Amino acid sequence: MRKIFTFIMLGGLLVVLLSSISELPPMGNGDNPSFNEISEYYIDEGVEDTHAPNLITAIITDYRAFDTLGEATVLFTGIAAVVSLIGITHHSKNKEDEEDDLHG
Amino acid sequence: MDDLFVRITTRMILPFIQIYGLYVIIHGHLSPGGAFSGGSIFAASIVLYTLAYGLKPGQKRLPHHISSKIETGGILFFILIGLIGVALGYTFLTNQEAGFPMGEIGRVLSAGLIPVVTFALGLKVMSTVVTLFHTMMEEE
């Protein structure tokens, strides 16, 4: 019963996603809603505003710097989760595996 | 990995990988690249060192207490740079209006807070990748 329910749910989701793909605007079309005045403003005024020729860096660290702070927080949260799950063993305490110190 | 060729090749190409990573970070506002890619390249050098020489020398190269300080310090530096704009009466992370020296377009020392923020973020990404790798190496 549960498998049938899962199958029906996933099948319905597949139908919804596939039917919405056919409604997407064609890629690179000039009439797409992603080509609005914001991208034109970035291309025209970005170098004057930020003095950075690399427009992508100008966007991610100047116009969208708060979003980049969120990305850094995602990294921080991810590593906090990994360290809390796996754990850090401090190797300065156990001296007995010092002989596999393969330096040089 | 106990192999002489891998170790000697690692020792030879390690400074070039690190200089290239720092170059990508520092020139993030001029050329393709930036904090995330440059930090990953720099971290790849330390990952390569750990793979070639073992976990202990790799952890001696970048100990966990130092990498955790780099990580928290990078993000705190980012927030403090952003708070300069708030202190001067503008919004969070204001660049040009807050009076950061903008310099000449195309120079390394230009674009106000962008290289500073890129450098802090690159160090943070580097220490994140290295800490993840060392933590997962310790587990097995």
ipTM of the complex: 0.76
Domain count, chain A: 1
Mean pLDDT of B45-56: 87
Residue B131 to residues A16, B13, B68, B71: CA-CA distances in angstroms? 41, 22, 8, 10
Q: Cβ neighbours of residue A89 under 8 Å, at least 6 residues apart?
A: B138
Domain assignment of residue A72, yes or no: yes
Query: How near does any CA of chain A get to the CA of B117, in Å?
Result: 7
CA pair distance B25, B36, nearest whole angstrom: 8
Mean pLDDT of B101-116: 78
Interface test with A, best of B95, B105, B136 (most A CBs within 10 A): B95
How many residues in chain B? 140
Give the model's pLDDT for residue A88. 60
CA pair distance B113, B82, nearest whole angstrom: 9
Is A100 a residue whose pLDDT tops 60? no
DSSP A35: S
Percent of chain A with pLDDT over 70: 83
CA pair distance B21, B38, nearest whole angstrom: 5
Give residues 48 to 77 of A whose Cβ lies within 8 Å of B: 49-54, 56-58, 60-62, 65-66, 68-69, 72-73, 75-76
pLDDT band at A96 (very low <50, low <70, confident <90, very high): very low
Domain assignment of residue A2, yes or no: no
Is A95 a residue whose pLDDT tops 50? no
Domain assignment of residue A11, yes or no: no
- Any idea what the Cα angle at residue B16 is, between residues B11 and B19, rounded to 5°? 130
Nearest to B34 by CA among A47, A59, A46, A74: A59
Domain assignment of residue A51, yes or no: no
Domain assignment of residue A30, yes or no: no
Is the CB of A81 inside 8 Å of chain B's CB atoms?
Answer: no
Whole-number mean pLDDT of chain A?
Answer: 79
Residues of B in contact with A51 (CB under 8 A): 96, 102-105, 110-112
Is A92 a residue whose pLDDT tops 60? no
> What pTM does this model have?
0.74
Nearest to B78 by CA among B27, B118, B38, B131: B118
Domain assignment of residue A47, yes or no: no
Residues of B in contact with A72 (CB under 8 A): 74-75, 78, 121, 124
Give the model's pLDDT for residue B63. 83
Residue A99 to residues B48, B57, B60: CA-CA distances in angstroms? 21, 12, 14
- Please report the sign of the dihedral spanned by the C-alpha atoms of residue A102, residue B3, residue B8, residue B14: negative
pLDDT tens, position by position, A4-39: 999 999 999 999 999 998 888 887 777 777 778 888
Query: Residues B77, B71: contact at Cβ < 8 Å?
Result: no
pLDDT band at B140 (very low <50, low <70, confident <90, very high): low
Lowest mean pLDDT among A29-43, B28-42, B62-76, B120-134: A29-43
